Structure 1
């Protein structure tokens, strides 16, 4: 009687036969693996280097009564001003433009802007 008939076998439990189902019971008996690596963000970040200061003020004159927030005295080259403007517009959810060596952002952003500037490395933010 070496071979068993397929008719004598019990049907597999559940909707299908999972050959790895018996292994899940033995999972607790496995030895502990190496500890997980530390997240990369846990190391203290070096302070981002940025301009020494920035002056933030609100302006309406010459703009048809519309409010804009002006960021002056950053002392950045023109290429970096475009990069900073794009990042600030994305962070604030507003429009803006570079005029001469200043950033002009739409709306009154004086409350939210200093935190973003400090995160980009500006050491002193003066709000006027």
Structure 2
């Protein structure tokens, strides 16, 4: 153990903390790994064991205290730009073939022709009517 410098052990610890980061996708392990790298720098600059441990603890706790709430806030936010099927919900479409509850009708939605059925199975929409897209079920627009 005396043959290998302390900074090498800190780097081994940082790599060891990086493995569960990749396996579990828990960012806290990455923050602990950065703390270990900071302790390796302190060891490389000649800091004692107490200083190395303090640097590890301070950097790790600071990262967890600052970065984790920011990451959690970003994780809970909905995307500002709806894409794919989500972008089509709430749009208006033009009936090209009679739409009823059977799903045999067609609408022009977003420049494309979609199969469509009415939300209320008893309601029918005739050619040329504007309808609102409520949902998308597979390749079928649910309209009302």
* TM-score, L = length of structure 1: 0.29
* TM-score, L = length of structure 2: 0.27
Which structure features the higher share of helix residues? Answer: 2
* Higher normalized contact order (CA 8 Å, seq sep 6+, divided by chain length): 1
